[in-house]
Amino acid sequence: MTSEIIWIQLFNGITLGVIYALMGMGLTLIWSIADLPDFSQGGIYIISAYSAYFAIILLNFSYFFAIPVAIITGMAISVTFERLLYTRLRASPNAALLCAIALFFLLENIAVYLWTPKAKIMPSPTKDMILYFAGIPVSFQRILIIIVGVVLFIVINVFVKKTKIGKAIMATAQDREAAALMGINLEKVYITTWALGGALTAIAAALISPLYAVYPGMGTLPLLKGLVVVILGGMGSFIGALVAGLILGLIETFGSVYISVAYQHGFAFIILLLTLVIRPQGLFGRR
């Protein structure tokens, strides 16, 4: 293995890590507020990727305008699910979890039904722009993913720490009853949380689609890895999600080259098991 290969793997690992971190941030937010691992985000990932694809193909949008289309789609579906279903199931977390899993499969199968299982390739100008860093080829799309990931991480952190609604979300995550007693409008908190979650999921989907393909089965692995990121990083921690995402991405890429590519997707779940045994609260979680 030359050092060139190591650098390529490093870049690929960071790109993947950022995508997992974005999924993880959305999931951890919802999980800490509503005590719900929201599986339906996997379905939202699929539908928002398709919405970006069709915005480009049918409406001739440029890639950069297709990303907002995906975000709006993701937020809309996410908030709709919250308003129509999760609100009613707040009393029974198990029912809400089953409902979320059902919604994931429902959206996946709607995609199969409407758009066939055949993979579609999203055209994007940024994918074909190859930059060289000391002879290492990196496409601009991957750099874009890393930039967007870092910017979003900062924005979300500022949002929850500085804005009123952000502080309300954090307060609710710590203690729901106390927050309600302090006069925090819980409904507003729930809607904002799901809107943010849906938006983060949609951004992850829209960013990775040009590199990979758009197809109905695309949501499963990012969803599961997003959940692993939440557990590894620690519930409710954004820095945890980012660090865990990067760890996962790097272990996956280096593991699949140096150990065996057959275990590419297995590493995530080995990490999950190890975390649950050794440090169940996660890297940045509080007991």
Q: Point out which residues bind other proteins (CB under 8 A).
A: 1-2, 4-5, 8-9, 12, 16, 118-121, 123, 127-128, 130, 137-139, 142, 211-213, 215, 217-218, 253, 256-257, 261, 264
The CB-of-250 to other proteins minimum distance in angstroms stands at 12
The CB-of-19 to other proteins minimum distance in angstroms stands at 11
The CB-of-139 to other proteins minimum distance in angstroms stands at 4
Q: Exposure pattern of 153-190 as b/e (b: 16+ CB <10 Å)?
A: beebeebbeeeebbebbbbbbeebeebeeeebeeeebb
Closer CB to other proteins, 185 or 264, in the complex: 264
- Contact of 44 with 221, CB cutoff 8 Å: no
Integer-rounded Cα radius of gyration of the chain: 19
SS3 209: coil
Give the Cα separation of 225 and 218 in Å (integer).
12
Closer CB to other proteins, 197 or 255, in the complex: 255
The CB-of-115 to other proteins minimum distance in angstroms stands at 13
Closer CB to other proteins, 92 or 260, in the complex: 260
Closer CB to other proteins, 16 or 33, in the complex: 16
Closer CB to other proteins, 93 or 123, in the complex: 123
The CB-of-1 to other proteins minimum distance in angstroms stands at 6
CA distances to 5, 8, 253, 260 from 2, in Å = 6, 10, 15, 18
Give the Cα separation of 249 and 262 in Å (integer).
16
- Contact of 165 with 192, CB cutoff 8 Å: yes
CB atoms within 10 A of CB 265: 13
